[in-house]
Structure 1
Amino acid sequence: MYDYLIIGAGSAGCVLANRLSEDPDCRVLLLEAGPRDWHPFIHMPAGLAKLVGQKGVNWNYDTAPEPQLNGRRLWWPRGKVLGGSSSINAMCYTRGVADDYNDWAAQGADGWDWSHALPYFKRAERNARGAGALHGAEGPLYVSDLRYTNPLSSAFIDAGQQAGYRRNDDFNGEDQTGFGFYQVTQKEGARCSTAVAYLGPARGRPNLKVVTGALVRRVLLENGRAVGVAYARGGREIKARAAREVLLSGGAINSPQLLMLSGIGPADHLRRHGITVKVDSPQVGQNLQDHLDICTLQYSTQRVTYDRTSELKTAYDYFLRGHSGPGSSNIAEAGAFVRSPLAPDHRADIQLHFVPAMLDDHGRNRLAGDGYTLHACFLRPRSRGRISLNNADPRTNARIEANYLSDPDGFDLKMMVECAKLSRELFAQKAFDAYRGALIYPSRSDLSDNELVEFIRAKAETVYHPSGTCRMGSDEASVVDPQLRVRGVEGLRVIDASVMPQLIGGNTNAPTIMIAERASDLIRKLIETEPASERAVESLTVASAVG
């Protein structure tokens, strides 16, 4: 028996494990389907390029065929290891902007506006530049400036200024827009995942137990309350019970899948797979959002890129010379936030990640020679997808239908064309004159808008920000309420990127950590919430053992 069971030791789960186990009288069990974060390429930042093929730390998801992307199945890497995706991502630390969170509150996520979110961003953060009105310096998550950058990354920032945009040295400052280097979640040149930042300091606590290689099969429900979980490990099923709450932190794919496997979801869908309906919650798995990304690639006439960097020398310099040199690079060193001519408000609507190497198909297709890549994504897509079950077997991946570019008015596609045009404009600036070789993708610089559309349909990919599939809100149809409690079930919360009502304008790792920081206070009742009577009047159909 434990007080809290946490499912998933990723960006949110590690935060919860640390914060809840701070109380020595509170017993916490943290379950993770993947292994320990032992692999050296996890901790050497540039090793992320080698993690692409490491199946042992990655769920290696594929979407269903995407109708608007020529029927392609897109690869969705997600972390399956202590630290989750914070152990395999590019470590870019961005939060979005204040109005992203004010939008959450306007959509019914009471208490999640910017004034409530900012203190938890600051509580998590240990910024190398020190504390300020928008930054913290005492938290467990180290946020640092890059120790090493490629000259091409500086050329990219110069190109942005030559194109008329401002330089920005802090994408989390007063103004997000502009070109600059990303700050990264690194500690002394090494990756600072949530497993390092939060779980590491807590591992010695006798009231915290961490179990890896544990695939949770279902949440155990009794009389409308979550009382534990059943998980598979070592070829057998094990049950663990929770005296207080079960906390689901599996992410935007696994969390809705586990809810449905446990009988919480769209009733007709569950019945089709022979699952007993415990709670008819039609929006479980709906509202899926992601940033679609288009990459522009160009050859470099100078051998300064990371394409043919000696892996042996990079590792030697990094591990034996104080975490220095190219091994400390996050590869996506520089970037930008730009407000396009189609932006509906004051916010930037395009994000750029510049990579001084050729990245085709997430780096899985290795190209000969030297080159550089510019990722460009539309920050506030209107298209919505869904997560559903392929079958009732927990070992089978969920069905992912991202439904990219499916919005009825075609605005998402128009914005992706803007992304491609901006990339082309930047590569034409004087700053790249000394490096500019032949174009790779697209192969011509004079493509029409219609030709750019075909390029996008053939080459666009995810930039790894799925969210929204267990939507938080005050309306009865939302999956979780603003305290992240699953509607229709007592003692069960979802705490991860799946609860975001709407995708924020930036990378999603820091916001997920913020969500978990604030959730830990909600759980410990350190934040005043609505009266219990309001909780009691929720009306959501609870089916009684209907198969």
Structure 2
Amino acid sequence: MDSAWCCGSRWISSILVAFVFFHGLSFSQRAPNISHYDYIIIGGGTAGCPLAATLSQNASVLLLERGGSPYRNDNITNLSAFGAALSDLSDSSPSQRFISEDGVINARARVLGGGSCLNAGFYTRAAPSYVSAVGWDGKLANESYRWVEKVVAFEPPMLGWQSAVRDGLMEVGVLPFNGFTYDHMYGTKVGGTIFDTEGHRHTAADLLQNANPNNLTVLLHAVVHKILFRHKGNSRPVAHGVIFRDGAGQKHKAYLKKGPKNEVIISAGALGSPQILMLSGIGPSAHLRVHNITVIVNNPSVGQQMSDNPMNAVFVPSPIPVEVSLIQVVGITRYGTYIEAASGENFSGPRDYGMFSPKIGQLSTVPPKLRTQQAIDQAVESMATLPASAFVGGFILEKIMGPVSRGHLELQTKNPNTNPSVTFNYFKEPEDLQRCVQGMNVIKNVIESRAFSRFKYPYLSAQQLLNMTAAAPVNMLPRHANDSTSMEQFCKDTVMTIWHYHGGCQVGSVVDSDYKVLGVDALRVIDGSTFNYSPGTNPQATVMMLGRYMGVKILQERLGSTDTTN
């Protein structure tokens, strides 16, 4: 355990002084039945933590997180344990499994720090064109990225497998080579990581070290059930508080202090934010009435335009040992697909919980609708009979930019602990499917490249490796390199998630350009649910940046200042 991790853990403990619930027990004292703050943030995740830290500089902030602490949890902290948290299906797990209506197994965070506590760690910014298209101020966005990077971003070590993938990408024409950079640009690059040189994860929760502890109250295991609104005559509804339950199930109310600038801010993620809006009466009126929810604002766009970037991968067994690595290198192609890689027995074998283990739902050998728990159990049992040498190697994957295909989200119950129903419609749009085919062809070329040759058995062709990846629909695989129809079927049958889902509260239809919820006052949504497209090759850097960025913007508005140096 490194010193930075220890200090972070002690510091977080020191700020949880008011009303914190740790593993369902009171850390200091129980939350009062009623409390008052300038800002109430729902969700202590990738956006919520930097947002809370920033706002606390000049205002009182309540941060409500439905999960627990990421500290002193080796399954979160250590790179070598990646996936263990994702395989934990208990009610106390930092991840909550959900299965989309498409049949793809997925997960949502339930821990302080959000998805940054569970992901593969890749840190990369959005492209300048993305920042411009969204309408963010470029200077403040860059300042906000740097604020995040001082705490959580590192340069990864480049060892054998990752170096071979890097060189293979350049050999097959994914150029130029841009070296190590956080920037998003065409070609091949080494990106950042939130794992330090000792393999310890640094998360959005670590950004709370920049908070003013005198102004910040963090409540763990605090589940928000609804937002409270008040009306004055015929005026618009105004958010003025929330109802939440603590780890013991006791109900509490938190209200905004009187003041024109005070707000409730939802940062609960792409599943949680539209869910909370609907539970609070903002959403499609017909759907809300089915659940006996009083309609505050009829907005049919809440829960719409949901997207998840599809991922397809190929396992390449290696004749020589490989390092344990998560995502470090990326090939950013000009036709809308990103090529990445992970390696090491810890990330493929049956005795572990790796990035592509069926234990965490990443099962590509059967099509999505067939990925039942029985199928998962059978896959794990079958893999357990293989020798350890069968799992020496790694994966090369492609992720679709965007994507263009969209779906929707609906409530299943009024219980905020129950996952909503979500459909992503993977590859519904032909453009996404064509990008997958192109990306898989790049992967095949990298596998056959000279630069990668020492990590591939010479008697296994790239096509045979694809056949192994998709064991069930093997007859559908292409026999010729130009057989795109069969490759399209491969993409559909082996699709997995890379956990980059977004949408549901998008700018222009649910929130305005300042992330204020349309039709009501004193309420914003600030997180990935507002994105039209996933930024960069991994969104976490931009989600953290957005929390800081909007925190600065809100304080500027509050204080009537343009100073962004706090």
> Could you say what secondary structure the match of 2:38 adopts?
strand
Corresponding residue for 2:340? Answer: 353
Q: Find the aligned partners of 1:458 and 1:284 in 2 and give their Cα distance.
A: 30
Q: 2-side partners of 1:527 and 1:187: how far apart?
A: 36
Which residue pairs with 1:117 in the alignment? Answer: 141
Contact in 2 for aligned 1:104/1:502 (Cα 8 Å): no
Say which of 161, 178, 183 aligns to 1:152.
Answer: 161
How big is the shift at 1:201?
4.6
Q: Distance in 1 between matches of 2:292 and 2:125?
A: 41
State the match for 1:236 in structure 2: 250
Shift of 1:155: 1.1
**TM-score, with length taken from structure 2:** 0.77
1:411 paired to 2:431: yes
2:452 corresponds in structure 1 to 432
Amino acid at match of 1:522: K
CA–CA separation in structure 2 for the residues paired with 1:466 and 1:387 = 12
Could you tell me whether the CA contact under 8 Å between 1:15 and 1:513 is conserved in 2?
Answer: yes
Residue 37 of structure 2 is matched in structure 1 by 2
Partner residue of 2:63?
A: 30
1:539 alignment partner in structure 2: none
Q: Which residue of 2 aligns with 1:192?
A: 202
Cα-to-partner distance string for 1:26-63 (whole Å, 9 max, x where unaligned): 22111111111131221223322332213410021211
Q: 1:100-139, aligned counterparts within 5 Å? A: 100-105=130-135, 112=136, 114=138, 117-126=141-150
CA contact (8 A) 1:521 1:527 kept: no
Task: Name the SS for the 2:83 alignment partner.
Answer: helix
Q: Determine the structure 2 residue equivalent to 1:451.
A: 486
Give distance in 1, aligned partners of 2:148 and 2:160: 32
Query: Separation in 2 of the partners of 1:527 and 1:293?
Result: 42
Structure 1: stretches of 5+ with no match in the other structure? 67-72, 106-111, 127-140, 307-328, 344-348, 530-547
Indicate if the aligned counterparts of 2:182 and 2:192 stay in contact, CA closer than 8 A.
Answer: no
- CA-to-aligned-CA distance 1:3-26 (integer Å, 9 cap, x gap): 111111101111121111112xx2
What is residue 87 of structure 1 aligned with on the other side?
Answer: 117
1:509 Cα offset (Å): 0.6
Tell whether the 8 Å contact from 2:243 to 2:254 is kept in structure 1 after alignment: yes
SS of the residue 1:217 aligns to: strand
- How many angstroms apart in 1 are the aligned matches of 2:402 and 2:559? 31
Q: In structure 1, what is the Cα distance between the partners aligned to 2:393 and 2:194? A: 26
> Which of 100, 106, 110 is the equivalent residue of 1:63?
100
Superposed CA offset, 1:209-256 (max 9, x none): 111111111111111111111112212221111222111000011000
The runs of 4+ residues in structure 1 deviating greater than 6 Å are none
Provide the rounded CA distance (Å) in 1 between the counterparts of 2:43 and 2:162: 35
Using the TM superposition, give the Cα deviation of residue 526 of structure 1 relative to its aligned residue in structure 2, in angstroms.
4.5
Matched residue, 1:326 = none
Matched with 1:540 is none
Q: 1:464 to 1:200 in 2, by over 3 A?
A: same
SS at match of 1:383: coil
SS at match of 1:418: helix
State the shift of 1:188 in Å.
5.3
State the identity %: 29
Moved more, 112-121 or 89-98: 112-121
Q: Is the 8 A contact 2:122 2:538 kept in 1?
A: yes
The answer for the alignment partner of 2:507 in structure 1 is 472
Hey, what's the Cα distance between the residues in 1 that align with 2:529 and 2:443? Answer: 30
Instruction: Pick one of 319, 322, 325 that aligns with 1:301.
Output: 319
* Structure 2 residue 47 is matched with structure 1 residue 12: yes
Match of 1:386 in 2: 408
Match of 1:48 among 82, 89, 109: 82
Report the equivalent of 1:538: none
**In the alignment, which of 187, 196, 199 is matched to residue 178 of structure 1?**
187
Paired with 1:49 and 1:396, the residues of 2 have a C-alpha distance of: 22
CA distance in structure 2 between the aligned counterparts of 1:53 and 1:200, rounded to whole angstroms:
29
2:303 touches 2:409 (CA, 8 Å); kept in 1? yes
Distance 2:545 2:437 in 1: 32
Give the TM-score of the pair, scaled to structure 1: 0.79
The CA RMSD over aligned residues, in Å, is 2.2
1:143-195, CA deviations, whole angstroms, 9 ceiling, x for partnerless residues? 2112x44411111112112213332213434x612223321124554322111
Cα distance in 2, alignment partners of residues 264 and 420 from structure 1: 41
Q: CA deviation at 1:380?
A: 2.4
Where does residue 321 of structure 1 map in the other structure? Answer: none
Per-residue CA deviations over 1:99-150 (Å, capped at 9, x if unaligned) read 1222223xxxxxx264553332233332xxxxxxxxxxxxxx332112x444
Aligned equivalents of 1:527 and 1:206: distance in 2? 19
- Is the alpha carbon distance of 1:158 and 1:527 closer, same or farther for their aligned partners in structure 2, counting shifts above 3 Å? farther
What is the one-letter code of the residue matched to 2:399?
C
Query: d(CA) in 1 for partners of 2:343 and 2:159?
Result: 7
Over 3 Å counting, the alpha-carbon distance change for 1:242 and 1:528 in structure 2 is closer
Tell me the secondary structure at the aligned position of residue 305 of structure 2: coil
Q: 2:528 aligned to 497, 503, 526, which one?
A: 497
How far apart are the structure 2 equivalents of 1:124 and 1:334?
A: 21
In 2, the alpha carbon distance for the partners of 1:238 and 1:379 equals 42
| In structure 2, distance between residues paired with 1:467 and 1:527 | 29
Cα distance change of structure 1 residues 455 and 501 upon mapping to structure 2, 3 Å threshold: closer
Closer, same or farther: CA 388–528 of 1 in aligned 2, 3 Å: farther
Number of equivalenced pairs: 459
